[in-house]
Structure 1
Amino acid sequence: MWAEDIARLQTLIKEHHIDPFLNIKEDNFDSEVNRLIKSLPDLNESQVEVEIMRLFRSIGDAHTSYDIMSGPHRHYPFRFKFFGKKLKVVDAVEEYTYLLGAELIGINKYSLAQLQDKLISYVNFVENPYSFSYSLSFHITVNKFLYGAGISEELDVATFKFIVDEKPISIEINSVSMQNFAKLGTHYVMLEPDIQYFDFDMPGINLAYLDEYKTAYINFDSYPELVQLQNHCESIRNKIQDSGARNLVIDFRDNQGGDFYVGLALSACIQNLDQLDWREGIFVIVDSGTQSAAMSNAAQYQQILNATLVGSPTGADPNIAAETNRFRLKNFNRGVSISKRYYDFTQAPSDALYPDLPMTTSWEDYREGKDGTLLELLSFIQGRDRKTELNPH
């Protein structure tokens, strides 16, 4: 049955991907498919799925991916986040909360660097080094991914190696259910700056006014439906207008995408607010979690809102195949996506949107509940505004 599903995936990619063989020659792709089908008798299910991930990864864009989480699976009980080159535990089930803040240095016999080298050909939802790190930090929690890639010798047990209080420790960890893992997040409670959002019943988009900085702040965390944005447009515009804001910050960090026409509708909603400083006062924050439609909207806002990009490089390539057709495997009912459109969002070749003002949140700030990136941006805005007040001409 796997042979039938894999052959079908081969056909789907050729029929539906807008440019499937930009990064791998068709003959080579076909050879890899045939090799996988011939090796099926020697592979367990986890190995088959990870090998399918390798096939999809060879296409080279994040929207062409195999969702290993769409079938039965379990997780190791941590959420990880990169701070520079260090991978930190930012959440854990109750049994392992003493590891919060610990640095992961390896799994089983592999160091973190070796894990990155071994898994780079398998991790899906990747377009550049930034989305690789972002996606890797999640995939290493998936039990059958580690097992299928040969990192673990057992399906539900692995030895995780950490640095705790400057000392290395190794702990044999059992996997937990998807339901228990789903309770974990990647955000500490952010205490600074103190943001009080207006009461909008709209998922994914929150608005606040930061009076000290004369700045309206839109946390664009995920994408609502277009009709939801349209229904709230007048309220958003009125709140910003009544606040007297001169600056606007739109935050796309950790937004992995949706319908970019919703983002365009938001820009249309606010574009008549003449009180805003449209020359220097519009900022968009991005990071490695800014992907798909969020990256698209960030690039569009640079142009149509004259926005300054702030933060760290996006996890999405601005000039690559995008949007998706979604399919389910006939026999195993796994989910796959295949890119169907192509956009050029920047004129110059680039693997990411790079910020005009690089700013990051350090581990020390994150641990203390400080949004270092936003605080640095607000300080920049405040300093610029004071300079303008002193030198109005």
Structure 2
Amino acid sequence: MLFALIAVFNGVAQAQATSKTLTVDQWRADLHYLADQMPRAHKNLFHTMTPEEFHAAVARLDADIPHLNADEITVRLNEIATMPSDSHTGGHGLPPEQCFPLRLRLSSDGIYVESAPLQYSVAVGGRLISIDGMPSATVYSKTSALVAQDPGNPGLQEVIGPVFMTAGHILHGLDVTASPDTATFEVLKNGRHVKLNLVPSVPLETLYGHVPIAGWADARGSSSPPIWLSHPEKTFWWTYLPAKKIFYIQFNAVSDAPHETVAHFFETAFTKVRKLPVDKLVLDIRSNWGGNNFLLKPIIVGLIRLPSIDRRGHLFVITSRNTYSAAQNLVNRLEFYTDAIFVGQPTGQHVNSYGDPTMIVLPNSGIRVGMASLWWQDITERDRRIETDPEIAADPTLADYVANRDPALSAIMHYRPELNLEDSIQRAIVTGSVPSGSAAYKAYAANPIHEYVLATMEARINTLGYRLLNKGRAADALAVFTVNAEANPNSANAEDSLGDGFSALGDRAKAIESYRRALQIDPKIQSSREALIRLGALTP
């Protein structure tokens, strides 16, 4: 399968050549063509929305078309195309549109100007306050409806949204600016407000990623970049850090390079690993938007054939919100087949997702949108994760960028082996008691490097309890379920599992108490209802 390398809104720019001359009837014809083709092209168009919601949106735009300008109509068409809510459905490709000359980046406390032409260097490193008087947070929120993204995963919005905020026709279509041809960007830097009156002058695709732009000032200044920013223009490359015995591989696209295949590159790299004193191998895919996942096999097989590397504490994978599509497939396989430790930020896609977009070209405007044509059940159907969360959190800040710090690589360099969540709980239970297990749970949760695994801790401990139960260790399982229920007092599932623990030990009264608490929390939890019926504590 060949995933779209970058799936983004392009309709506004593509429509400009003809849209100014389109009649109301022609726009309506495009709308109805889109509405007709979307259910035909998409694998499961109504997996997150109802047919009624879809047709209502179409009807609203049909009624509004006579009162809208071309940019507004085009934005609304693309919003409809993105309604299915999956990361491969919506506008596709990179538009040729000229954008306002600012490279914006989302940080923890706002949107910043990462780089700009030298004449606007006064704004570089500053926080964006507004565009034509509209607060930057509001503009950012408006772009969300145009970004193809999986439900609940903000990754692609965090990456693409700031770029869309520089596109004149998008801003005009979203009613942020009065014209696509000029805008005032207000920036706050060092306590001083700076207003930049800009006109579009750079192609949209140059504003993605981190490839330096000639003649632009950058927040990092002129100092040497961190390793991960050394060659952002390359598809893949490697280097060796002898002082740390780290072999670092950066893999920026699941694609063959012009003069080297993925298979040959990794074969060569792994040969080098065998010849060097390597303690840790780092695979950096934080900038990898995907590509062709049929190219992944040599990577996985090659790592498995490195027994000195494929073990806990020696193989690390850096991910980010950019890690998407075929790169998510790579993450899934690494998680399943290797002992890799993931570091950085969560990925930008569900672990299972829709993909392989089929293109729809609207007959009058020429707007192109893609509809995911396949469902990729990459791992078990029971796995409903909206992202792959790193075991070690390492969120980059603007200050890190300016100072050329890489918190992800730094975390790997300073990594010290620790028990994972399950092992730490199990050891505390076996050697101590429930209070010891609770203390281990709290200590693990309090460690900031575990920020992104907090949401999965309940499920992981629950799974551990059933694993012990299936091994006949009912007392240990009950202790684990007790720790989980105490740590998650509003979880019906944790109470339900606690009931199973008491049942396994024959404590009917306490099992009934737990099942009843589960039903109080969630009256729809069927397993607790069935257990109470089975125990004679509830009438069918």
Place the TM-score, normalised by the shorter chain, in its bin: 0.7 to 0.9
Q: How does 1:1-393 map to 2 (within 5 A)?
A: 1-67=26-92, 69-70=94-95, 73-125=97-149, 127=151, 128-178=153-203, 182=206, 186=210, 191=224, 204-225=235-256, 228-344=261-377, 345=379, 347-380=382-415, 383-384=416-417
Give per-residue Cα distances to partners, 1:121-156, cap 9 Å, x unaligned: 333456522322221111101110000000111111
What SS is found at the alignment partner of 2:296? helix
Quote how far apart the aligned CAs of 1:119 are: 3.4
**After alignment, is 334-343 or 323-332 more displaced?**
323-332
What SS is found at the alignment partner of 1:59? coil
Quote how far apart the aligned CAs of 1:99 are: 1.6
CA distance change for structure 1 residues 68 and 44 in 2, over 3 Å: closer, same or farther? farther
* Native 8 Å contact 2:304 2:310 kept in 1: no
CA distance change for structure 1 residues 221 and 190 in 2, over 3 Å: closer, same or farther? farther
Quote how far apart the aligned CAs of 1:6 are: 2.6
* Native 8 Å contact 1:126 1:135 kept in 2: no
Structure 2 residues not aligned, in runs of 5+ = 1-25, 212-219, 419-540
What SS is found at the alignment partner of 2:401? helix
* Native 8 Å contact 1:89 1:103 kept in 2: yes
Give per-residue Cα distances to partners, 1:300-352, cap 9 Å, x unaligned: 21111221111011221223322322343333333322112223447443322
The higher relative CO (CA closer than 8 Å, separation ≥ 6) is in 1
* Native 8 Å contact 2:344 2:390 kept in 1: yes
What SS is found at the alignment partner of 1:20? coil
* Native 8 Å contact 2:310 2:340 kept in 1: no
* Native 8 Å contact 2:240 2:248 kept in 1: yes
Identity fraction in percent: 21
* Native 8 Å contact 1:131 1:288 kept in 2: yes
More strand by share: 1
* Native 8 Å contact 1:79 1:186 kept in 2: no
TM-score normalised to the size of structure 1? 0.87
Quote how far apart the aligned CAs of 1:43 are: 2.0
**Alpha-carbon distance in structure 2 between the residues aligned to 1:313 and 1:141:** 25
**Alpha-carbon distance in structure 1 between the residues aligned to 2:328 and 2:169:** 30
TM-score normalised to the size of structure 2? 0.64
Between the two proteins, the alignment pairs up a number of residues equal to: 378
More helix by share: 2
* Native 8 Å contact 1:52 1:66 kept in 2: no
Structure 1 residues not aligned, in runs of 5+ = 386-393
Give per-residue Cα distances to partners, 1:177-228, cap 9 Å, x unaligned: 428x737853657846558999xxx951112222222222110111223981
**Alpha-carbon distance in structure 2 between the residues aligned to 1:121 and 1:185:** 21
What SS is found at the alignment partner of 2:106? strand
**After alignment, is 185-194 or 271-280 more displaced?**
185-194
What RMSD over aligned residues (CA atoms) do the two structures have, in Å? Answer: 2.8
* Native 8 Å contact 2:236 2:251 kept in 1: yes
What SS is found at the alignment partner of 1:120? helix
What SS is found at the alignment partner of 2:339? coil
CA distance change for structure 1 residues 53 and 194 in 2, over 3 Å: closer, same or farther? closer
What SS is found at the alignment partner of 1:159? strand
**Alpha-carbon distance in structure 2 between the residues aligned to 1:233 and 1:378:** 22
**Alpha-carbon distance in structure 1 between the residues aligned to 2:274 and 2:324:** 30
